[in-house]
Amino acid sequence: MLAKKNTVAKIDGILNVNKPTDRTSQDVVSYVKHLTKQRHVGHAGTLDPIATGVLPVCLGQATRMSSFIMESHKTYIAEIKLGISTNTYDREGTVTSNRDPSYITKAQVIELLPTLTGTVMQKPPSFSALKLHGKRLYELARSGIEVETAPREVTIYRMELLQWNHPSMSIEVECSKGTYIRSIAHDIGQSLGCGAHIAALIRTKYGPFSIEDSISLTQIEDAFSHNLWQRLIYPMDIVINDWTAVTVTPEQEHAILDGRTIPNSIENATPRCRAYSCDGWFLAILKQSPDKATWHPEKVFHSY
């Protein structure tokens, strides 16, 4: 008698994980992959090892939505310690300078922060996950190879002082993709002339995901062990809820599945739209043609 094949339900959705300090972002992905038995699992944007907070983890076809999540605004609360600079710009690095910050006042910080907001050219830390010739920069840095990182354009939408407890302070930062909060801390220290580094970092919001609704690894484990995981999974289209939505006919659905264009009859539509089948299945992401006359399938999602 043949053994019954063990089947695992396929999951297409997103978990809003509250990453702990004792795990890397990839550790969290590996843990979720082990719990869920899913083949395709990935996170949407690395958090530093010392950082905690919102880490969207995508499962199944939702992994194809990670690029859209990464376009979202992010909000952080950072604890910054003045007077000490490190090579990693955070508490885990080697101290590179130690200066007396006693002359720095709260008023100076409040005056400084607005000058660091807006669209700025930011230099990423040498210890970062960026790649050069296939190697992570932090791997090169740990090997003693110094790499001069090129400044990149990022947008700091808002930066506010939350707490002042000299020589430490807490700031809240809302920013675009590609922003390094460690670099912001370093730049604050340089601007004040005393040096600074990140002592603690929490990501509190990332697109539609907030820390108030995030879940711990223990909660995920408990939910999957009791087959209650459905209540934790966000639909993969949640990250593009502000796009135009269209419901297509069965004939148009077949065209989309075949990779063919369909007519666009919607005025003032967003450049991309989310398309749904008649039964409500999130079918595809469609991209508008330059003349706005048609929609072309960019990403197609299949039902099982």
Q: Which two three-digit tokens encode residue 236?
A: 């993969």
Burial of 55 (0-12, 13-18, 19+ CB in 10 A): buried
Place of tokens 């930062």: 173
The strand pairing partners of 229, in sequence order, are none
Question: 12, 22, 27, 48: which is the annotated catalytic residue?
Answer: 48
Q: How many CB atoms lie within 10 A of CB 229?
A: 19
Catalytic residue list contains 48 = yes
Q: What is the largest CA-CA distance in the chain?
A: 81
Name 121's bridge partners. Answer: 153
Strands 52-59 and 196-206 come out as: parallel
Contact 79, 170 (CB under 8 A): yes
Residues tagged active-site: 48
